[in-house]
Each structure stands twice: as structure tokens, then as C-alpha cells.
A = this chain, B = another copy of it.
């Protein structure tokens, strides 16, 4: 065995990333690749989700899936391919998705009689099946979720934010009444808010999309929107009332209690790995990721500081590791043959919430040194000596603190960058300068939204009821109908 000091390092672990404040996009790409969340794939527009990135996705899946099941949903799996003729039935939907569909034209050595689309979303295939499964009001509601890969032919590749293939979940439900469908859509939007804020520590604004930003084929689209450090908004999840549009196009009918035949009311709702992109941008810093503990594949990493005679330290580190695992903590012991400093920066890059340093000096003192990833280097409370016997008991509280602290920082940023404007010039300047979520009384007209966009690149992110405050639209002067958040967006 070589000692760690003279070990040759084929792949140096100290990885440079550009400062976050300088160019968020450069920083973002660098951290995604250098923290080994993803690799660029040899297929246009696609990335590989590496084990550490998959660890994040599995945490998000777990948080969502348990909530879907708790609210009465079941998982199912529908085919990847959709015959072109089927896709064509809901006119708005086709118009929205056809330009970005990948087409299968050959199977084995034969040309297919009909082209098959790789699903860009599954309303069509699922609606077709629901038509078969639903006959009576007794068959409703149908509450199904699918975990799946979907494809939208994109020209640009940005890990998690924009890739041709991506992973997501899509819920699809059918109901007897519009009221029930609306309640479902609101319920799932609230699930998304909860997962974004309480699990990912990313504060969001809930609201309804404008008609321009609505899902192709929906009657109402709701979203949660997060604010990125560069002042651009990121849509983190959507929940759609599809009215009876898909039920009519795909013939989802049922006999009601009074024997009349009616069309069902359907919904769909989805969150993708895009949520991970928001988490990365909101929390990361110049040293790399900072992962909120509830999302962390590794909550605490033990780094033994081994110099020369090392048996005691190694044994103590292994004992501590076993203790933490037994206590249900997602711990990792890093015994790689590398310098401790390199390990530190490696785990900082990966955003592990707690680092536990254990060296000969610690051992003499009967302590371990716990280092919080959420704190700046040298900040108060960032480095804590904890008696070895107490480490396991202290960790859950520290992780809670870190979760709370990351959320508080992000919340402060969002609150500090949510502006309420009444002056047109100020509103347009805020939109143009990416000053944050810019809220105004708004008329709701597509033409007004288009004019703002042409001038500032900003669009509505979402809207909420006007309340009592009647008055003119800040953007155009026509009567306001809603309050809207404008921002440039990802």
C-alpha cells in the first residue's frame, strides 16, 4: 500500500469552477459536470445522469412519490411511442408539441405504415386508455401517476433545465365533475410547493399561468415559480385543468348516477428533474453545490485525517461510520488514498451538508470536528468540536439547522427581489434589468403581455386574483383583472 502523501493522482480532485456571481450560466454548467451530477452524452441534446445526480433524483422521487400515494394516487406505466394519428386528435395539443417531437419511422428492417412519436408528454396515450377503462361514475376518479422519460427535440443543452430527453413524473386524473378536477389540480400544486420549499428548500410563488403561457390543450394551468440568483424565474412544476378537451378528443365518457352519458374532466400535473436545476442554482456557491439535507444522498461524510501511524484514527473513523449508519444517517466514510484537503474540496463541490474530520488530535481530545457546508469558511458556528460519543445524536439537529438556514437564505433573496410596481417605467426597467419577480396589477391580455415581452424579454410567470384593488393595468392602462408576476425566465 502506498501512503496517501506520495500517491500519484491521475485525476486531480481540486476542480476549479468560475465564480457564481460573475456568470451564473458558466458557473452552473461547471458545477453540474464537476460535481459529477451529469456527463454530456454522445447524443444530441442529451445528458447522462451520473450516480450522484441520480442520488438527488431518487431523493426527489421519494419525496414526491410518498405524497402522491398519501393522496390516493397509484403508479402505472404507459407506452413510450404514440401513433401520429392519435397525437393529432387534440388540435391545440398537437400544435404545441408537434414541432418538438422525435419520430420513429422504422422498426427492425421495415418502414412503418404510420410514424410513431416518442412521447413529449402522455395526455394522448393515457386519455385513450382512460376512454377504455371508464364506463360508469363508479370507475371515477382515476388517480394515476407515471414516472417516465420523455423527449422534446431541443437544440440547446443545459443539464436539468433543457435537454432533449428528460426524466419526470406526470400525473393524469379523470373526474366526474369540474369541481373535483379543480380540487385535484390545486391539491397537487400544493404538493409541489411543499416539496420545493420543505424538501428542496427552494421558495416558490404559486399562481395561475396567463393564457399565453398555458399548457397546450388546458383550460387552466397553475405553476410554482422559483427565482434564480440572476433574477430570472424558473418554472419548477405545473398542474393543469384540462377541462373536457381531452375527454372529448379521446372519448372519455361515463354513465352518471342519473344514467346520462357525460364526458369526464381530466387533469395533468408534472415535475421534472428541472427542479434539481433550481436547487443547484439557488443554493450553490463558489465552492460548488450546497445540498439541503433532506435532498442529500450523503448527509455527512467522514474524512479521517491520517498521517503516518494511522490505525487508531482509521479504527475510530470506521466505528463512527458504523454508529452513524446504525442511527439511520446517510453517512459516507472516505478512505480514498488522497490528501485530506483534496477530499474536503471534493465533498464541498458535491455539497454534502456536514463534513466530519477525525484526526489524531481530535482523537486525543475525544472529539470529532464537524464542518457545516452552509456556512462561509471561517464563519461562526461553521466548525464545531463534538465529543465522539455525541456525534450521532448531534447530527439530526445540525442537519435541521442547515435545512432551515438554506431555506432562510433563499427566502430572504426571493423576498428581497419581489417587487410591487405601480409605475410603468419602473416596471419595465425592473423587468429589463432582471430585478426579480415584478408584481403589477395586470389586464390579462395576450397583446399586453407580448408588448412587455418585446420591450423587456419578460413574460408573466403566474397570476393571482386581483382582490379589491381595482385599477388600471400598470403595463398598458386598460382595466386590471389580476395581479401578475413578470420576470425573464429559463
Residues of A at the B interface (CB closer than 8 Å) are 10-11, 39, 41-43, 46-51, 53-55, 57-58, 74-83, 86, 99-109, 115-116, 118, 125, 128-129, 132-133, 135-136, 138-139, 144, 148-149, 151, 153, 164-165, 167, 255, 336-337
Nearest CB to that of A51 among chain B residues? B74
Closest 7 CB pairs of A and B: A10-B136, A51-B74, A49-B77, A107-B153, A46-B79, A103-B106, A108-B153
Nearest CB to that of A152 among chain B residues? B108
Most chain B C-beta atoms within 10 Å of own C-beta, residue among A43, A83, A337: A43
Q: Are B109 and A99 in contact (CB under 8 A)?
A: yes
Copies of this protein in the assembly total 2
Nearest CB to that of A50 among chain B residues? B76
Closest beta carbon of chain B to A46's beta carbon, Å: 4
Q: Is the interface of A mostly helix, strand, loop or mixed?
A: mixed
Between-chain CB contacts (< 8 Å), 16 pairs: A39-B129, A39-B133, A42-B128, A43-B83, A48-B129, A53-B76, A58-B75, A77-B149, A80-B118, A100-B108, A101-B107, A103-B104, A104-B105, A105-B105, A106-B115, A118-B118
State A42–B109 Cα separation when bound (angstroms).
Answer: 22
Which residues of B are found within 8 Å of A165, using beta-carbon distances?
79-81
Which residues of B are found within 8 Å of A135, using beta-carbon distances?
10-11
Question: Known contacts A75-B58, A78-B48, A80-B165: does B107 contact A104 (CB below 8 Å)?
Answer: no
- Which of B54, B108, B129, B167 has a CB less than 8 Å from the CB of A74? B54
Which residues of B are found within 8 Å of A82, using beta-carbon distances?
43
Which residues of B are found within 8 Å of A148, using beta-carbon distances?
149
Q: A42-B83, A43-B116, A99-B109 are in contact. List 6 more A-B contacts (CB 8 A).
A: A42-B86, A46-B80, A48-B76, A102-B106, A102-B107, A105-B105
State A159–B128 Cα separation when bound (angstroms).
Answer: 19
Question: Known contacts A102-B104, A129-B48: does B79 contact A54 (CB below 8 Å)?
Answer: no
Closest beta carbon of chain B to A80's beta carbon, Å: 5
Q: Are A43 and B79 in contact (CB under 8 A)?
A: yes
State A46–B129 Cα separation when bound (angstroms).
Answer: 13
Which residues of B are found within 8 Å of A149, using beta-carbon distances?
77, 80, 148-149
- Which of B11, B41, B77, B86 has a CB less than 8 Å from the CB of A167? B77
Which residues of B are found within 8 Å of A102, using beta-carbon distances?
81, 104, 106-108, 116
Most chain B C-beta atoms within 10 Å of own C-beta, residue among A42, A83, A109, A128: A42
Q: Are B10 and A129 in contact (CB under 8 A)?
A: no
Which residues of B are found within 8 Å of A167, using beta-carbon distances?
77
State A112–B175 Cα separation when bound (angstroms).
Answer: 41
Q: Are B129 and A41 in contact (CB under 8 A)?
A: yes
Which residues of B are found within 8 Å of A77, using beta-carbon distances?
48-49, 54, 57, 149, 167
Q: Are B39 and A132 in contact (CB under 8 A)?
A: yes
Which residues of B are found within 8 Å of A125, using beta-carbon distances?
41-43
Nearest CB to that of A75 among chain B residues? B54
Which residues of B are found within 8 Å of A51, using beta-carbon distances?
74-76, 144
Which residues of B are found within 8 Å of A54, using beta-carbon distances?
74-77
State A100–B108 Cα separation when bound (angstroms).
Answer: 4
Closest beta carbon of chain B to A233's beta carbon, Å: 26
- Which of B86, B116, B139 has a CB less than 8 Å from the CB of A11? B139
Closest beta carbon of chain B to A262's beta carbon, Å: 14
State A81–B80 Cα separation when bound (angstroms).
Answer: 12
- Which of B108, B153, B337 has a CB less than 8 Å from the CB of A101? B108
Q: Are A79 and B10 in contact (CB under 8 A)?
A: no
Closest beta carbon of chain B to A36's beta carbon, Å: 9
Q: Are A48 and B79 in contact (CB under 8 A)?
A: yes
Closest beta carbon of chain B to A109's beta carbon, Å: 6
Closest beta carbon of chain B to A198's beta carbon, Å: 24
Most chain B C-beta atoms within 10 Å of own C-beta, residue among A77, A132, A148, A151: A77
Which residues of B are found within 8 Å of A43, using beta-carbon distances?
79, 81-83, 116, 125
Which residues of B are found within 8 Å of A101, using beta-carbon distances?
107-108
Closest beta carbon of chain B to A459's beta carbon, Å: 23
State A78–B39 Cα separation when bound (angstroms).
Answer: 10
State A57–B55 Cα separation when bound (angstroms).
Answer: 21
Nearest CB to that of A115 among chain B residues? B106
Which residues of B are found within 8 Å of A105, using beta-carbon distances?
103-106
Closest beta carbon of chain B to A160's beta carbon, Å: 12
Nearest CB to that of A36 among chain B residues? B133
State A53–B78 Cα separation when bound (angstroms).
Answer: 12
Which residues of B are found within 8 Å of A115, using beta-carbon distances?
106
